[in-house]
Structure formats: structure tokens, C-alpha cells
Amino acid sequence: MGPLSAGALFLLLLLGACPEARASQNCVNNQQLLTVIRQLQQLLRGQETHFTRGIRNMRSWLAALQNSVSKTVSDAPSDISECSSQPCQHGGTCVRGGSQYKCICPPGWTGSHCQHQTQTAAPEGLVTGDPALSLVTGDPAFSHVTGDPASSHAPRCTQEEHLQYCSCEAGFQLSGDGGADSVCLDVDECEFYKQEGRPNLCMHDCVNTPGSYHCVCPSGYRILPDRQSCEDVNECVTSQHMCSQGTMCINTRGGFQCVKPECPEGNSNGSYVKTSPLQCERSPCPMDSKHCRHLPKTISFHYLSLPSNLKTPVALFRMATASPLGWPRPTSLRFGLMGGKSHNHFVIQRADRRTGEVVLVKTLEGPQTLEVVVDMSEYLDRSFQTKYVSKVTIFVSPYNF
């Protein structure tokens, strides 16, 4: 046994962050910087959505305003009793409102006097009615026609003198050059924003719908109230997992894992007992067994869930002694990577005098699972005292979130 009791020392593992005051300044700054960068990215995404909604609202508002202005120009009657002259054609109903009247047209007819058939081609001299969209005319995203009949319809047109003004509802755009055969075509927002240099509308996938779009998340994620971002579902707390008895549920990004940490099998040199679901402790060594004293005093298990393509290098976790160094405590510590699957993805470095830090140095693309084993040995005047081992399993999501 080393000079320290198990209670005098603990293994500090900081998963995915280094918030401790003891952390090296460098690590804290990098982590804080990453947090700020992520917050800024989130803010940008919010702004993009806000901007898109703004454009949509503006289109809607302009279309409504144009209709209203056109009607004011062409509908203004000289006499409020004009309804008696039956101004509404094709079975339209004349309704008085204040000093004006209005025609409520039957299906298939439009215009201030129900004089236009809605499916009839617009006459020459037609003016496109949606200035907000003129900047994107000619964009392939706006001439997209699907088999869905809801993705195109006749424009809303009003007649003024010899000119016909046509407009489309928000989310639609007049086709072609706005000529006689023009129809209102659905704007494929997903396609439009997929093009280079334009922001992503959705964190994962975008689904175009007639007049609009919506975002969808992959299985294992839920959409957030911003209708754009995806958040992992924690199956372990929602009881959606099917982990059998004796196994532990570990939440991962986009899923979950059932794990069963096992202690090494005992032999004549030493044996282990499970002291908690995630820790094994070596049984006391015989007085004369030097080999036993070199076995890890504790073996602890840790699980991390990471997104794909995390920017590297990034510190993933730390291992430290809580006790101050120096007599009668250990005078020095040594840290090492003991291998484990894909250990070449990691390096270990000193964060400070009593803390080791495991750093991911290769970009990981999911889905994949890695394992890294870290050991920390205590020395007293260059003489080995005790070793502690942490086994870290890393689950990498197939997505960047």
C-alpha cells in the first residue's frame, strides 16, 4: 500500500471541459473561447432564421399592400349606391362597406368586378407583383416545379387601365418573365439556401413544402423551439432505453449504449472488487508481493459522447490527485497512455503539477467508438508508490452535433 489511503486522493475527471480553477490558464482560455464561438454560431443561426422570416413577412406585406392599393384605385365607385347597378360580374356578390363596395367573387373568378377567370392567362402588359423576389429571379430554386399540384397556382391579378398587376402569396414566385403564361411557383427555400455562400436554414435537413419549408432532425434527436436546431434525446432519463438488468445506460448523441464495466479477473498476484458501478478497487496486497503493488489501485470507467469532426486539438478530460504534493504526500506524478483502441488519436500532457490532460489530436468522424486508457502513478522521492487507471470510452455521433 502507498502512503495515501484511497480517501486521501481522488481522480478528477473533467469531461469535455476544464472549468476548474486549478486548470491551466491555457486550457481555460481555449475552452472559454470555444464556448463563445459556439454561442456566436448559435446567434448567427438565429439571425439567419430571423432574416429569412423577415423577407417572408416583407413579401407577404408587399403583396397585401399591392392588392389593397390596386383595389383602392380600381374599386373606388363614384356612388355608394353602385351596388344597385350590379357591378359584380359572373355571379359575384356586391357588398357595401362604408363609402365603397366590394365584389365577393365565386370560385374561378377574380378581379375587382370578378371580370377575370383565375385560370386564364394574363394579358400583355402584365407587371410582376412581388418586388421582394425580383432579386432572385432566374435562380433555379425559384423555377422548381414538383409533381405536387399545391406547388403552383394561378397568380392573383388586378386590372388597372390597360395593365394587369399580378402577385403571388408569400412563399411563391411568378414564373418565367412574368408574361402571359406565368403562374405562381413554390419557392424551394431549401434549394435556394443550399447554394454556396448562403447560410443553412436547418441544422440537419430541410424539407420544402408548398409556400414554405420545415427542418427535420435525424432519429435520436428532437427539434428545438427555434424550429431549426436539433438536440439529442436523452433516452436514459426518458426510459426509452432497453438496457437489461446489470447494465448501465449511457446517453450518446443520437442514441444510447448499454454498458457493463467489468473488473479484471483476479489471480495470485492480486484481485479487484467493484466498489461502485463505475469503479474497481484492488484488494489489499500481501506484504511480500511487489508485483501486486504495481497493479492499479483503482480502475475507473468513463464514457464520453462527441459530435463528428470536432475541431482539434481539444482537451477531453483530466486526471489529477486532490492531495497537495510533497512530504508525506507523493512528491511527483507520472501520466501515461496505456494504449486501448485508437490510442494514437490522443496525447497526454501536463495541465499543471498534479493534473494530466488527455488531448484529442485527430479529427474523428462518426459513427465510431474509441477507447483510451490513462494511468497516473505516484512517486515518493523517485520511488514508485501507487498507480491509478481510467478507462475512457468515446462514442462519436454520425453528425456534427
Nearer to Ca ion, 228 or 251 (CB): 251
d(CA 355, CA 349): 9
Task: Report strand pairing: 383-396 vs 152-153.
Answer: unpaired
Q: In this chain, which stretch among 81-89, 100-108, 237-245, 250-258 interacts with Ca ion, using CB under 5 A?
A: 250-258
Task: Report strand pairing: 298-306 vs 383-396.
Answer: parallel
Question: Between the CA atoms of 118, 121, 124 and 127, what dihedral angle is there, to the nearest 10 degrees?
Answer: 50
Cell numbers given for 9: 486522493
In this chain, which residue has its C-beta nearest to Ca ion? Answer: 232
**Length, in residues, of the chain:** 401
Least CB distance to Ca ion at residue 306 (A): 13
Among 186, 232, 375, 378, binds Ca ion (CB under 5 A): 232
Least CB distance to Ca ion at residue 131 (A): 46
Nearer to Ca ion, 192 or 399 (CB): 399
- Count Cβ atoms below 10 Å from residue 306 Cβ, excluding itself: 20
Least CB distance to Ca ion at residue 225 (A): 19
Nearest to 217 by CA among 234, 207, 230: 230
Cell numbers given for 193: 439556401
- Report how many residues bind Ca ion under the rule CB under 5 A: 2
Nearer to Ca ion, 81 or 234 (CB): 234
Cell numbers given for 176: 418565367
Nearer to Ca ion, 251 or 393 (CB): 251
Q: In this chain, which stretch among 13-21, 38-46, 122-130, 226-234 interacts with Ca ion, using CB under 5 A?
A: 226-234
Q: Note every long-range contact of 99-102, with CB atoms under 8 Å and residues 24 or more positions apart, other chains counting.
A: 100/75, 100/76, 101/75, 101/77, 102/71, 102/75
Least CB distance to Ca ion at residue 2 (A): 40
- Residues in 119-158 at the binding interface with Ca ion, rule: CB under 5 A: none
User: If you search the block for the grid coordinates 432532425, which residue do you land on?
Assistant: 217
Nearer to Ca ion, 121 or 237 (CB): 237
Nearer to Ca ion, 164 or 251 (CB): 251
257 counts as binding Ca ion under rule CB under 5 A: no
d(CA 166, CA 123): 11
Binding site for Ca ion (CB under 5 A): 232, 251
